[in-house]
Amino acid sequence: MDTSARPTHRPVRQLLAASVGNAVEWYDWYAYTFLATYIAARIFPEDADDSLVPLLSTFAVFAVGFFMRPVGGLLMGAVADRHGRRTALTVTILLMGGSSLLVGLTPTYAAAGVLAPVVLVVARLLQGLSVGGEFAASTTFLVESAGPGRRGLFSSFQYVSTTAGQLAASGLTTLLVATLPEESMNGWGWRVPFVLGAVLSLAGLWIRRGAEETRSAEQRRAPRPGLLEALRRHPRESLLICGITAGGTLAYYTWTSYLPTYAELNAGVEKSEALLAGTISLAFFGLLQPLGGLLSDLPRARTGPRGGVPVGRRPLLLFFGLGFALLCVPLLHALRDSFAVLLLVSCAGMVLLTGFTSISAAVNAEIFPPRVRAAGIGFPYSLTVALFGGTAPYVGTLVKELGHPGLFPWYVAAVCLLSSLVYLRLPETAHRELRR
């Protein structure tokens, strides 16, 4: 019997390998987001004489956010399928650590001219490649590492670690801004989180190098899959990933990233209160994830001749999708200039959102066969995130500028409703054996 296909006997080490590395990845990614204004002032000065500077600034934002993440999902997913999950996890964290250090060491425009924005663009392209590949590799690794009846729980740590990274970046940025003089923050303070991120990447690399490979010996002996084999041989499954992800990623970025800004623009909430409510609800969200994963793993309760309570992946997905379709508009319309109301709305959305985020990694991994699992997940997932999640703040801001801010909640609700139709037709996979 091929024992290499069995789940690992070191589940804690496996969880740490995926979670710590993923947290570092997202810490580095969000650090750039929180410090963007400081970086822009030093690298993309408004009074720059060279006309290439504003062009490169635009390219940095769009090329990374809407192009490199799907490319990273495809390429790093292929690495995971061809050379092993652990190899792909090593590559992604090295890419993120190196690109984070590159951001931290980027020369200013005053010192290097147009070379400064070029270096920053390269660093952000590498970060986008790494983040896009991280989900594909870590999702597959986490779910394949889980023992029987624990795939949902292991899956939930994808967003536990993502949230931890976001909170760490936000906390460190807040601390630096609060303690350093403005001159120091503009001079060298903004570089500190990125240099620290590179150091943390080394710690994540050390943990990941001690993890066990989850690809079976049979898979390692089989011919290596082609780069586009998942798309070519499994088009239905690829489209299924898009349908599952569309509503979830739009709701996720709306509630975890855009909601404080939305509350400022549409309800007059003070910026400091909006950010505090967002931070508290984000911490609450991270704590909810394992509960959602555990709930999806519970066996059906045999309470009568016709079965019992339908516990599994699909009920949680429908709880999320239909919940957002019905409640997104009332929740966002309920916002007013009140910290308490904003916090309640934020936390209510986080509860609904957990129905998707806590199990999305497991659902995705259970759709594809192991030969192309990572690449099969990586490209359609990252592409859908770029199209729906990454554009959420832009769509919300655009409809506000056009004078129709009330349309944005309906947009979120409609996409979640469409994803719910996909969830209704999904087969329940929670209690099936994972293909290895």
Q: What is the pLDDT of residues 133-167, one digit of tens each?
A: 888 889 899 988 888 788 999 999 999 999 999 99
pLDDT at position 4 is: 43
pLDDT at position 198 is: 93
State yes or no: pLDDT of 292 exceeds 90.
Answer: yes
pLDDT at position 316 is: 95
The answer to whether residues 114 and 52 touch, using CB atoms and an 8 Å cutoff, is yes
pLDDT at position 122 is: 87
- Rounded to whole angstroms, the Cα distance separating 422 from 417 reads 9
Tokens of 433: 């054996």
pLDDT at position 307 is: 52
State yes or no: pLDDT of 209 exceeds 60.
Answer: yes
pLDDT at position 3 is: 41
pLDDT at position 60 is: 56
Backbone angles phi, psi at 133, to 5 degrees: -80, -25
- Residues ≥6 apart with Cβ < 8 Å to 20: 161, 203, 204, 207
Confidence grade of residue 42 (pLDDT, cut at 50, 70, 90): confident
pLDDT at position 47 is: 63
Q: Which CATH class is domain 7-210?
A: mainly alpha
**Is 229-298+311-430 a domain of CATH 1.20.1250.20?**
yes
pLDDT tens track for 353-362: 999 999 999 9
Q: Stretch 120-124: mean pLDDT, rounded?
A: 86
Q: Stretch 12-31: mean pLDDT, rounded?
A: 86
- Rounded to whole angstroms, the Cα distance separating 133 from 94 reads 12
pLDDT tens track for 182-202: 889 988 999 999 999 999 999
pLDDT at position 64 is: 62
- Rounded to whole angstroms, the Cα distance separating 284 from 250 reads 19
Per-chain mean pLDDT for the chain: 85
Q: How many CA atoms lie within 13 A of 188 on its CB side?
A: 2
- Residues ≥6 apart with Cβ < 8 Å to 319: 352, 355
State yes or no: pLDDT of 55 exceeds 60.
Answer: no
- Rounded to whole angstroms, the Cα distance separating 124 from 130 reads 10
Ranges of CATH 1.20.1250.20 domains, the chain: 7-210, 229-298+311-430
pLDDT at position 208 is: 87
State yes or no: pLDDT of 73 exceeds 50.
Answer: yes
- Rounded to whole angstroms, the Cα distance separating 410 from 421 reads 17
What is the phi-psi region of residue 312: left when phi exceeds 0, alpha when psi lies from -120 to 50, beta otherwise? left
